[in-house]
Structure 1
Amino acid sequence: MVPCVSVAALSIHRGKQDVLKDLTFNIPEGRITGLLGPSGSGKTTLIRALVGVQKITSGRVNVLGRPAGDASLRHDVGYVTQAASVYKDLSVVDNVHYFGATHGCSRADALEAVDAVGLGGVAKRRAEDLSGGQFSRVSLACALVSKPKLLLLDEPTVGLDPVLRADLWTKFAAMAAAGTTLVISSHVMEEAGHCDSLLLLREGRLLAQLTPAQLRQRGDTPDLELAFLRLILADQELHSPGVREEAS
C-alpha cells in the first residue's frame, strides 16, 4: 500500500543553517502522527515541506503518491498554521464558507464543518467576538470544510485550556477513525499519548519514529516527557565529540 506521506533524504538549509537534516520516513493513511520536539527543532519547516510551500535543498517529499505542492493536491490537503487565518469582521460560518468556496463547497458544507469543531452555537457570531478557544477553532473548520484526505496542524492546541485540548483530541481521533490522515505538531509531550505514531525531532534531525508505547519502553518509564528526555540524552552521548574520539 502506498503511504499517505513519503519523505526520503529531506534536507533544508536556510542560509548557513541546517534546518532539517536528511529526514526519511513514511506516514500511513488514516492515522494520527504526532510531530514532537522542542521549539526550534524544525517542526513548522517540516509541515511546510509536506504542504509544498517550503523550498527544499535536497531529497523527496511525496503526498498521496504525488510530489508535495502538486496542483492536484489542492483539495486533498488541509493546513492549519499556528496563527489563526480568519477574517475577524466576518461571522464564523461566513469565514468557513469563504474558504470552502475555493474548493467548490456550499454553505451547507460550511455549516457542517462549523458543527464538527463545536461552533454550531456561535456560527453567526463575528470572529472578533469569540473567545480565544473558539477563535482558534475557526481556522480548523476552514481547513476541514473541503474534507481533506491529509490534515496538517501546526501546534493547534497552544494556549487552549485542558478541557478544550481534550475536546479537540477527541475530534482528531474521530476524524482518523473516519479515514483522515492527521499530522499534528506539538512541543507538549503529554499530547504524544493521543497519537498512533510519533516523529521525534531535535535540532532538525529525526531521532526516532515510533509509537508512544515504544517510546515508553525505550525510555524505561511511563512518563513520555521523561522518556523523550532520555532519548535526547542518549543521542547527545552518541554524537558528542568526546564519545567519537574515545570510540576511535
Structure 2
Amino acid sequence: MSTAVSINSVSMCYGKKQALREVSLNIPEASIFALIGPSGCGKTTLVKILMGLLKPTAGSVNIFGEGAPNCANARQTGYMAQAAALYPLLTGRENLEFFGKLYGLRGQQLKERIGAMAQLVRLSEDLDTQTQNYSGGMLQRLSLAVALLHTPRLLVLDEPTVGIDPLLRSEIWKELRSLATAGITVLITTHVMDEAEKCDQLAMMRAGQVLAVGSASELIKRAGTSTFEQAFIKFASGEEAVSSPDVNQEAAK
C-alpha cells in the first residue's frame, strides 16, 4: 500500500519543554489512521506540524511524496482543528461558500457540495443562520463540513466528534469509512475508545513519543489485555514502554 504521509524523526520543543521526541510514522493511503493518547501527549502538535502551522525543531514531513508544507499539498488537504475557525458574522452557508471558493469550487458544483455536506452534518435547516448563534456542537459540525467540502485527498481531523450526539457520530463514521474506501486518507486524533477501534491503524502516544503502532486487535494482543481500553491504559501509563520494541523505527518501515 502506498504511503500518504511520512513523518521522519520529528521533534518539537517549546523552550525547554520537548513536546515531540523523534516521532516517525508512515500513514497508508486510503485508510483511517488514529493518533491516540492522553491530553498533552503531542497529538495536536504533530497535526499542526503536518498542516504547516508549526515548524518542527528537527525532522521532516512528506505528504504524497512531496515535502510539506507546500501549496499543492494544502489544496489536497482538508483540516478540522479542535477550535472552530469560522466567521461568526457569516451564515453557515456563507462560510461554506467562502471556504469552497478558496479551494476552487464554483457554481453548481459548489452548490451541490454545500447541500450534500449540510445534509451529512444535519445543518440544512440552519445554513442561513449566522454562526455566532450556533451552539458548540453546531460549530463542530460546520467545521467538519468545511473540511470535507472540496473532497480532499487527505483529511486531517483533530478531535472531530467532540460535542456531537451518538447517532450523528455514527453517521459521520460511516462517511469516513466510505471516504477511505474511495481512496481518501483520514488522519484523526481521538480519546474515544470505540472510535479508535474503528480505525485501520493507530499510533499510541505518551509524553511526545510513539509507544506502539498497529490495529486495535494487534495492540490488545501486544498489551496482553482483553479490551482496547485496557490496552490504552496500559500503554498510556508507561507499563509497556520498557518492554515494547523500537516502535518509531518499526513505524517507519
The two structures have a TM-score, normalised by structure 2, of: 0.87
The aligned runs of 1:54-133 (5 Å cut-off) are 54-106=54-106, 107-108=110-111, 109-133=113-137
2:191 aligns to what?
A: 187
Contact 2:140 2:163 (8 Å CA) reproduced: no
Distance 2:65 2:133 in 1: 41
1:159 and 2:174 correspond:
no
Partner of 1:28: 28
The answer on whether the counterparts of 2:86 and 2:143 sit within 8 Å (CA) in structure 1 is: yes
CA contact (8 A) 2:41 2:205 kept: yes
Structure 2 unmatched ranges of 5 or more: 245-253
1:244 alignment counterpart: none
1:165-176 paired onto structure 2 within 5 Å: 165-176=169-180
* Alpha carbons 1:76, 1:149 under 8 Å: kept: yes
Matches of 1:132 and 1:49 in 2, distance apart?
26
Task: In structure 1, give the amino acid aligned to 2:71.
Answer: A
Q: Is the 8 A contact 1:93 1:111 kept in 2?
A: no
For 2:150 and 2:164, locate their aligned partners in 1 and report how far apart those are by CA, in whole Å. 25
CA contact (8 A) 2:120 2:172 kept: no
Name the residue aligned to 2:234.
230
Secondary structure at 1:222's aligned position in 2?
coil
Q: What is the Cα deviation at residue 236 of structure 1?
A: 5.0
* Structure 1: gaps of 5 or more residues: 240-248
For residues 56 and 3 of structure 1, do their structure 2 counterparts lie closer, same or farther at Cα, with a shift above 3 Å needed? same
CA distance in structure 1 between the partners assigned to 2:44 and 2:5 by the alignment: 16
1:221 deviates by 2.8
* Stretch deviating more after TM superposition (15-24 or 82-91): 82-91
Q: 1:207 aligns with which of 184, 187, 211?
A: 211
Pick which of 174-183 and 28-37 moved more. 174-183
Q: Is the 8 A contact 1:61 1:67 kept in 2?
A: yes
Q: How many Å separate the matches in 2 of 1:128 and 1:26?
A: 39
Matched length: 239
Give the Cα separation in 2 of the matches to 1:87 and 1:150. Answer: 24
SS in 2 for 1:235: coil
Q: CA deviation at 1:231?
A: 2.6
* Conserved 8 A contact 2:211-2:241: no
1:238: how far off? 5.3
Letter in 1 for 2:240: D
CA distance in 1 between counterparts of 2:101 and 2:194 reads 37
Is this contact kept in 1: 2:137–2:162, CA < 8 A?
Answer: no
Q: State which drifts further: 211-220 or 36-45.
A: 211-220
TM-score by length of 1: 0.89
Deviation sequence 1:29-74 (CA, Å, 0-9, x none): 1111111000000000000111122111111210111111112112
Greater alpha carbon shift after TM alignment, 198-207 vs 73-82: 73-82
User: 2:216 is aligned with what amino acid?
Assistant: P
Letter in 1 for 2:239: A
